[in-house]
């Protein structure tokens, strides 16, 4: 069993040092403004990182409430093979990811990893949409022990667990020389408990054998401390750069030399080093060691299952690499599997792929019309979002963009991949005149060809407005209330289980950011109807009653017929159709339609889709889809709404504010307004306004409106800011 090369050890020492320095930088939004009241990210105080950690207590940190996730992890519904996009896949096979909360696509390159949200965003970031294939989500890229709370919100809303990262820890964290290990463990667990995340990814490499024993003792102490704190779902994932599991199961002896028994607490899962896939880079990282025989649970006295093992897939040199090597772990579209997949750096890889393609197109001496159109789609600010997410979709849903297709590599693509059993050396840094791996490695299979889609739609009511968590403007009930670019992953709706699974005409299905009912986007279906067409949207497990209803808020679609499709557990191959006719006229051309589902009382709904019929051009925007069996109860007005701190900025034309209130556990989110202009939305009890514009009056009225089940019907709380 071999360990790291000198180059790799050097790379991780440099990375750890960089992370330690970065972790001590002041607040993200106003790093150059020493007077700013912008909340400082947890554990970012000046000083040595270890000393900051040792002294830190979130209960006494006035900035901590602004980075706390209040979203509890949703329960996922039971799998049903008959309704899967790939019925042959095993639902128990897991997937994990390591990624940054926000990665800039255009505009100035910014480190947005510590930004929970932004209104008036300078850069357009990537906002993750494919949570249905993620079971374990690791906060990666400089956020450190506390993951971005917007990422925690989104992961929990979709039923996944979210982990902070213990990256190349200071030896004092585990050797007991400055603080006893049980005390370190309690402090780490308290961070989880306060900030609302689920555990840690322990990235531990290039240490001594004694250190390896100590880190395993710290992990055991964390598991014990979490149990004592009542955190029953506390999860530790371990990574040490090896390609087998013996370092965790059975694990080394304790520091005191006693045997580590199989029944003792230890890491819940492990990521296998990417070397298992014969992967290597020209310099800097990745062992390239071939996969050794995994420890047999029967021989180690148990302690783990096959699906506790996640095979690492480092993808920033070429996301298409997954299509070559993932079949070594999981048979595509159904068959044997050896464990789960762990995907990381894919957003960075996709961004490099996109930028490499831009460079290639710009270098063409005689570009065709198609080349010029493609270059425009990759560089025009009005088109970048669509082209980026189509590329992103191809990684998750496969090269055809549909999770229901096989997405098998062609013979030509297989020839490019080469032999999966031989070591591959890929370039992380492109040399002059050298073809980029991002272009050379084709994307073929998507994650959906290996991992079953998950869903949390198991109770009523269910409401989605198809809000992806970012936009160029913000809408309430079809009316624009905010005109600045914004992003907030933490307020993303539950998005469709399949993107995009269509049967029939080749309609374009995508999010539309020019119009919405609530949020920054709506779902748009457009194209030419030449046959009846179904767009499958949500996997569900909902028992219907005599009072159950389905509802839509939509705009357009007058040149065809629209239907809601329902599939039931007792007849999974049959679609029951409910016609959508007319509806109540709302503002700006939107219509509200409701259909009674009482005829299906007693049956369990397992799939919701939309159907379309007609001839010729067709287009419709869906602003809301709802399932309900009772009217939503309005919450009480918020309590304790106050301005915790404020500062008028230079020139007196704007101000920054820190707002706080008492959170209601029955409220999903809160909208904040300044004289009816939208400031932001948050699931929590604190919000920072970076730039409140000054009007003509000497005061500005701030209001806070609670949202339950997608509807803001409760009375608002108000407070007044006086410009002085």
User: Tokens for 201?
Assistant: 């990814």
Residue 455 lies in a domain: no
DSSP for residue 35: T
> What confidence score (pLDDT) does residue 128 get?
96
> Is 634 a member of any domain?
no
DSSP code string of 466-513: ---SEESSEEETTEEEE-S-EE-GGG-----SSSSEEESS--EEEEES
Residues 434/427, Cβ–Cβ less than 8 Å: yes
Among the candidates 449, 470, 505, a domain finishes at 449
* Residue 303, domain member (yes or no): yes
What pLDDT is stored for residue 294 in this prediction?
65
> Is the domain of 421 the same as that of 549?
no
Residue ending a domain, choose from 387, 419, 449: 449
User: Residue 56 has what pLDDT?
Assistant: 97
CA–CA separation, 701 and 51 (whole Å)? 42
> Based on the structure, what is the number of domains in the chain?
3
Residues 592 and 645 in one domain: no
Task: Kindly report the CATH number assigned to the domain that includes residue 507.
Answer: 2.60.120.260
Residues 682 and 538 in one domain: no
Can you read off the two tokens belonging to residue 497? 């289980």
CATH number of the domain enclosing 669: 2.60.40.10
Q: Which range marks the domain in which residue 697 is found?
A: 639-722
Query: Alpha carbon 655 to chain centroid distance?
Result: 31
Which one of 573, 602, 628 terminates a domain?
A: 628
Q: Are residue 424 and residue 534 in the same domain, yes or no? A: no
Name the β-bridge partners of 536.
Answer: 501, 609
In this prediction, residue 300 carries a pLDDT of 58
Supply the DSSP string of 542-566, one letter for each residue.
EE--TT-EEEEEEEE-TTEEEEEEE
- Containing 426, the helix (H) or strand (E) segment is strand 424-426
User: Is 457 part of any domain?
Assistant: no
Q: Say yes or no: 616 and 662 in one domain.
A: no
Whether 606 and 572 have beta carbons less than 8 Å apart is answered as yes
**Whether residue 558 sits in one domain with residue 614:** yes
Q: Is residue 80 part of a domain?
A: yes
Unique residue bearing structure tokens 């007058």:
558
492 and 436 belong to one structural domain = no
At 244 the pLDDT is 80
Give the gyration radius of the chain's Cα atoms. 26
Q: Do 136 and 56 belong together in one domain? A: yes
User: 377 and 287 share a domain?
Assistant: yes
Asked if residues 251 and 218 have their Cβ atoms less than 8 Å apart, the reply is no
Cα-based torsion angle of the residue sequence 396, 401, 405, 406 in order, rounded to the nearest 10 degrees: -60
Q: Is residue 454 one of the residues assigned to a domain?
A: no
Quick: pLDDT tens for 90-108. 999 999 999 888 998 877 7
Regions of the chain short of the pLDDT cut 50? 1-32
Do 81 and 161 belong to one domain?
yes
CB 147 within 8 A of CB 139: yes
Whether residue 633 is contained in a domain is answered as no
Q: Quote the CA–CA distance of 234 and 241 in Å, as a whole number.
A: 23
Instruction: Please confirm whether the linkage preceding 461 is cis (ω < 30° from 0).
Output: yes
Place of tokens 């920072």: 688
The sign one gets for the Cα dihedral 86, 88, 94, 98 is negative
- Same domain, yes or no, for 671 and 582? no
Q: Are strands 591-596 and 654-662 parallel, antiparallel or unpaired?
A: unpaired
CB 597 within 8 A of CB 548: yes
pLDDT in tens, 397-438: 999 999 999 999 999 999 999 888 887 777 765 566 666 787
Residue recorded with tokens 């624009």: 480
User: Are the beta carbons of 122 and 491 closer than 8 angstroms?
Assistant: no
Please give the full DSSP string across 239-253, using - where no structure is assigned. Answer: E-S-SSSTTTTT-PP
Q: What is the pLDDT of residue 333?
A: 98
């Amino acid at each position: 069993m071999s360990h790291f090369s000198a180059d790799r050890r050097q790379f991780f020492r440099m990375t750890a040092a960089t992370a330690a320095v970065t972790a001590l930088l002041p607040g993200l939004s106003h790093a150059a403004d020493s007077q700013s009241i912008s909340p400082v990210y947890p554990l970012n105080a000046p000083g040595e990182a270890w000393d900051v950690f040792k002294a830190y207590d979130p209960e006494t940190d006035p900035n901590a409430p602004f980075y706390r996730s209040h979203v509890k992890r949703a329960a996922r519904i039971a799998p049903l093979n008959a309704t899967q996009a790939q019925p042959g896949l095993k639902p128990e096979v897991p997937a994990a990811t390591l990624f940054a909360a926000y990665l800039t696509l255009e505009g100035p390159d910014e480190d947005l990893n510590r930004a929970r949200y932004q209104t008036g965003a300078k850069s357009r970031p990537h906002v993750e949409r494919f949570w249905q294939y993620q079971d374990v989500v690791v906060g990666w890229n400089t956020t450190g022990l506390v993951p971005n709370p917007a990422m925690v919100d989104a992961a929990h809303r979709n039923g996944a667990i979210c982990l902070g990262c213990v990256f190349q820890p200071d030896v004092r964290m585990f050797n007991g020389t400055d603080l006893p290990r049980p005390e370190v463990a309690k402090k780490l667990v308290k961070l989880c408990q306060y900030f609302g995340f689920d555990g840690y990814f322990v990235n531990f490499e290039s240490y001594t054998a004694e250190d390896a024993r100590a880190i395993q003792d710290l992990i055991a102490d964390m598991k014990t401390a979490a149990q004592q704190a009542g955190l029953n779902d506390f999860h530790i994932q371990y990574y040490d750069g090896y390609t087998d599991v013996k370092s965790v199961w059975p694990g080394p002896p304790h520091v005191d030399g006693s045997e580590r028994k199989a029944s003792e607490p230890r890491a819940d899962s492990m990521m296998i080093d990417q070397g298992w896939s014969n992967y290597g880079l020209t310099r800097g990282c990745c062992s390239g060691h071939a996969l050794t025989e995994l420890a047999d649970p029967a021989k180690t006295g148990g302690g783990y299952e096959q699906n506790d093992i996640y095979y690492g897939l480092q993808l920033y040199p070429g996301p298409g690499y997954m299509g070559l090597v993932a079949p070594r772990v999981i048979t595509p579209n159904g068959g044997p599997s050896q464990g789960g997949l762990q995907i990381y750096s894919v957003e960075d890889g996709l961004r490099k792929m996109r930028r490499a393609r831009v460079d290639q197109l710009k270098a063409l001496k005689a570009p065709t019309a198609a080349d010029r159109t493609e270059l425009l789609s990759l560089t025009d600010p009005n088109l970048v979002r669509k082209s980026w997410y189509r590329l992103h979709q191809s990684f998750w849903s496969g090269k055809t963009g549909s999770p229901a297709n096989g997405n098998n590599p062609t013979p030509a693509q297989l020839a490019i991949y080469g032999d999966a059993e031989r070591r591959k050396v890929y370039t992380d840094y492109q040399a002059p005149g050298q073809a980029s791996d991002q272009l050379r490695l084709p994307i073929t299979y998507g994650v959906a060809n290996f991992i079953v889609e998950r869903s949390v739609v198991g109770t009523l009511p269910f409401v989605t407005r198809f809000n992806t968590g970012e936009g160029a403007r913000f809408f309430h009930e079809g009316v624009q209330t905010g005109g600045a670019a914004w992003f907030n992953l933490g307020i993303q709706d539950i998005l469709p289980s399949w993107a995009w699974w269509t049967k029939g005409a080749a309609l374009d299905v995508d999010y539309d950011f020019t119009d919405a009912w609530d949020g920054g986007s709506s779902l748009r279906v457009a194209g030419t109807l030449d046959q009846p067409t179904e767009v499958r949207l949500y996997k569900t497990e909902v028992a219907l009653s005599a009072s159950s209803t389905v509802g839509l808020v939509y705009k357009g679609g007058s040149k065809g017929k629209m239907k809601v499709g329902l599939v039931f557990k007792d007849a999974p191959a049959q679609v029951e159709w409910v016609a959508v006719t007319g509806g109540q006229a709302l503002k700006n051309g939107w219509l509200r339609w409701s259909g009674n589902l009482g005829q299906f009382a007693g049956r369990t709904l397992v799939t919701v889709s939309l159907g379309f019929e007609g001839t010729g051009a067709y287009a419709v925007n869906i602003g809301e889809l709802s399932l309900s069996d009772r009217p939503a109860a309005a919450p009480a007005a918020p309590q304790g709404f106050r301005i915790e701190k404020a500062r008028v900025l230079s020139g007196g034309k704007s101000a920054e504010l820190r707002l706080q209130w008492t959170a209601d556990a029955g409220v999903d989110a809160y909208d904040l307004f300044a004289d009816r202009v939208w400031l932001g939305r948050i699931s929590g009890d604190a919000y920072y306004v970076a730039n409140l514009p000054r009007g003509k009056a000497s005061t500005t009225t701030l209001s806070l409106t609670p949202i339950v089940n997608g509807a803001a019907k409760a009375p608002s709380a108000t407070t007044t800011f006086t410009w002085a």
